A and B are shown apart, each in its own frame.
Chain A
Amino acid sequence: MNKKLIGVLGAIAVLLGGYFALSSWASEQAVREVRIALLESNLDRAVRYRDVSASLLGGSVTLHDVEIRDADGRGNPVTAARVVVSDIEKDHDQLTAIRLRFEGLNISVLESARRPDDAGALLRLVSLDTRYELIGMGYSNLNGTVEVYGQIDPDLREARAEIEADFDGFQAMSGELAMSGVDRDVLKALIDAQQLLASQSIFSFLSKGPQVIEAASRLELMDLQLSIEDRGLHDRLQTTLAEKYLVPGDGDQRALEIAELAKRDVVNELFRRDSDPRIIQDVAKQVSGYVETGGTLSLTTNIAHPLPLFERGGMLGIKPAPVIQNFERFMLLADARLEH
Chain B
Amino acid sequence: MLRNGIALALACCVLATPVSAAEPHRLAFSKRLGVDVFALPNEQGEWCRSEMTLSLALSKDSPLMTSGIESFVPKLGPVFAQECPKAEKALVQAYKAENREPTGATYSATKTAGWALEKVSKEQAALPAPPPPMPKQKPKPKPAIPIASLAYSASAWNMILAYSKTKEDLLADENTIRAYAGTHDCGAFSDASRNEFKIKDYLTNIRSQLKAKADALGPYVKIAFRSKLGTYEPNKGAFNFEPLSKTISIPGEKEHCSRDWRQTPIRLFTLSWKPGNGIYGLPLEKAQAEAYVQKIVDDYWTKRAVDLEVIAKPIFLPMDSDGKVHVELELLEARAYESNDARRHLHTFTEAELIEGGRAWASAKAQAEKAQMKAEAERQQAEEQATQMRQARNDYRRLQYASLGTKIAYLVGNEKLDTLTTALGKSLAVGDNYPATFLVQAGKAGKTGVEASWPGRLTLNLMTDVPEFEKGKWYVVAGIMEVQEGNNGTPPTGKMRVVITKQCVQDMCAEAEDPITIIRDRYPDIDWSPEH
Contact = CB atoms under 8 A, between A and B. Distances in A.
Interface of A: 110, 113-114, 129, 131-141, 168-169, 236, 239-240, 242-244, 246, 248
Given A138-B490, A240-B419, A113 B456 contact: no
Interface in B237-257: none
Contacts of A236: 491
A244 B404 CA distance: 10
Contact of A136 (B423, B430, B456): B423
Nearest to A115: B429
A114 B429 contact: yes
B455 A138 contact: no
Contact of B422 (A110, A132, A138, A168): A132
A242 B431 CA distance: 25
B421 A240 contact: yes
B425 A136 contact: yes
B420 A138 contact: no
A169 B490 CA distance: 10
B425 A135 contact: yes
Contact of B455 (A129, A131, A168, A243): A243
A291 to B, nearest CB: 15
B508 interface: yes
B456 to A, nearest CB: 7
B130 interface: no
A132 B425 contact: yes
Contacts of B439: 246
Contacts of B405: 244, 246
Nearest to A249: B454
B499 to A, nearest CB: 21
Interface in B414-459: 419-426, 428-430, 439, 441, 454-456
A97 B490 CA distance: 40
A113 B434 CA distance: 15
A246 B404 contact: yes
A326 B405 CA distance: 31
A340 B134 CA distance: 131
A243 B420 contact: yes
A195 B491 CA distance: 40
A140 B455 CA distance: 20
A52 to B, nearest CB: 31
Given A132-B426, A133-B421, A140 B508 contact: no
At the interface, is chain A mostly helix, strand, loop or mixed? Answer: helix
Contacts of A141: 489
Nearest to B438: A243
B428 A135 contact: yes
B486 interface: yes
A140 B428 contact: yes
Contacts of A139: 489
B507 interface: yes
B455 A242 contact: yes
A306 B443 CA distance: 59
Nearest to B403: A246
B410 to A, nearest CB: 14
Interface string B496-508: 0000000000011
Contacts of A248: 441, 454, 507-508
A89 B74 CA distance: 140
Contacts of B423: 136
Nearest to A243: B419
A132 B508 contact: no
A110 B419 contact: no
Contacts of A240: 419, 421-422
Contacts of B404: 246
B456 A239 contact: yes
A244 B419 contact: yes
B265 interface: no
B128 interface: no
B77 interface: no
Interface in B448-475: 454-456
Interface string B381-417: 0000000000000000000000011001000000000
B191 interface: no
Contact of A132 (B429, B441, B454, B507): B429
Contacts of B420: 136, 243
A223 to B, nearest CB: 36
Contacts of B492: 135-136, 138
A137 B456 CA distance: 13
B425 A246 contact: no
20 contacts: A113-B428, A113-B429, A114-B429, A114-B430, A129-B422, A131-B429, A132-B426, A133-B422, A135-B425, A135-B426, A136-B491, A137-B421, A138-B489, A139-B489, A141-B489, A168-B489, A169-B489, A239-B455, A240-B422, A243-B421
A315 B450 CA distance: 60
A243 B486 CA distance: 19
Given A132-B425, A136-B428, A240-B421, 16 more contacts: A110-B429, A133-B421, A136-B422, A136-B423, A136-B492, A137-B491, A138-B489, A139-B489, A140-B485, A141-B489, A168-B489, A236-B491, A239-B456, A243-B419, A243-B420, A246-B405
B490 A246 contact: no
A244 B408 CA distance: 13
Contacts of A168: 489
Nearest to B426: A132
A141 B486 CA distance: 12
A82 to B, nearest CB: 22
Contacts of B419: 133, 136, 240, 243-244
A141 B485 CA distance: 12
Nearest to A141: B489
A139 B507 CA distance: 31
Contacts of A133: 419, 421-422, 425
Nearest to A139: B489
Nearest to B408: A246
A82 B439 CA distance: 46
Contacts of A239: 421, 455-456, 491
